[in-house]
Amino acid sequence: MSVGVLIIGLGQIGMGYDLDLDPNQYIYSHARAFSQHPDFHLVAAVDPGPQQRKIFAQKYQCPAYENIESALSRHQPGLVVIATPTLFHKEALQKVLNQSQPKVVLCEKPLANDAEDGQWMVNTCSEKGVELYVNYLRRADPAVIEIKRRIETGEISSPIKGVVWYSKGLLHNGSHFFNLLEYWLGPMQSFAVINEGRLWDQIDPEPDVQVRFENGEVVFLSAWEEAFSHYTVELLSPAGRLRYEQGGAFVQWQLAFADPILQGCKALSSQVYEVANGMDRYQWHVADQLANAMRGEEFQLCTGNDALHTLVALNKILAH
């Protein structure tokens, strides 16, 4: 199987993040991931910027078009990647489905800015027989999948409580970690806003909020992106402590054990166990999970419905 891929949007996640990095070590963009994965091949890209189109054509030896209509008049891809700004996700999908019927659409996160547009995207793909996935990339990472396994088997036992630090808006960057916690702990049951916070870039709210998920309770706290990036998750369980640091670049587990000196007391072991992750190649892991899905095998990607649940939950918090 080698599925042809059209990428719509050649910004950072579309092409830019790893443009000048070693391709043998880093795979951060859709362009690099789908050019390297054996189950896919690039057929074309779309971007309104002539310089972006020129760079893509030279780097990947594929044509790049100014608009979706021009690309689809010449190519009929099996997979379409929508990597435009969120505001244009619905419009891009509409244009794609008016002119083609790919097997799969992979859309950047969040699915949309509001639940109504997100619901339309999910419903329309379903009606046309197109599988829709959303690029919450951490769900494809080996460490994240392993942590989910440990929670499901009780190695990380209940009750679970945690803290998340996020920045650059709850809907955009914060949604990465909200979706991750839904993957680990199940859907949101209730929430309480602790602090209204501010608007990031005058658009995206950054509240502090306590969220009760099906299998745990987590407080989301906003940091200051202009000072430094800080994306972490800390989960406490009766079995120990999980630290998900630097956006997932370091994942560590500490076991709880009986204190050898203080009878009846427990403490965290000084031994820290690393949980192997693949964040240097995160977009390749998404492509690999997507290949599994297209073969009808087990996969861990975020579906359109999963992403819609995330969007609905976040909209409830922001509209409280």
Give the model confidence (pLDDT) of 274-287 as tens digits.
Answer: 999 999 999 999 99
pLDDT per residue over 65-124, tens digit each?
999 999 999 999 999 999 999 999 999 999 999 999 999 999 999 999 999 999 999 999
Q: What is the mean pLDDT of residues 226-241?
A: 96
C-beta atoms surrounding 234 within 10 Å: 15
DSSP 275: P
Query: What's the Cα-to-Cα distance from 163 to each of 103, 212, 222, 276, 307, rounded to whole Å?
Result: 38, 12, 11, 21, 22
3-class DSSP assignment, residue 54: helix
Domains recognised in the chain with CATH numbers: 3-137+284-300 (3.40.50.720), 142-277 (3.30.360.10)
pLDDT at 269 over 80: yes
Contact yes or no for 175/211 (Cβ under 8 A): no
Q: Is the dihedral of CA 306, 300, 223, 89 positive or negative?
A: negative
pTM of the model: 0.95
* Alpha-carbon 182 to chain mean position: 12
Question: What's the pLDDT tens digit per position in 18-63?
Answer: 999 999 999 999 999 999 999 999 999 999 999 999 999 999 999 9
Q: Name residue, tokens 């910004």.
A: 11
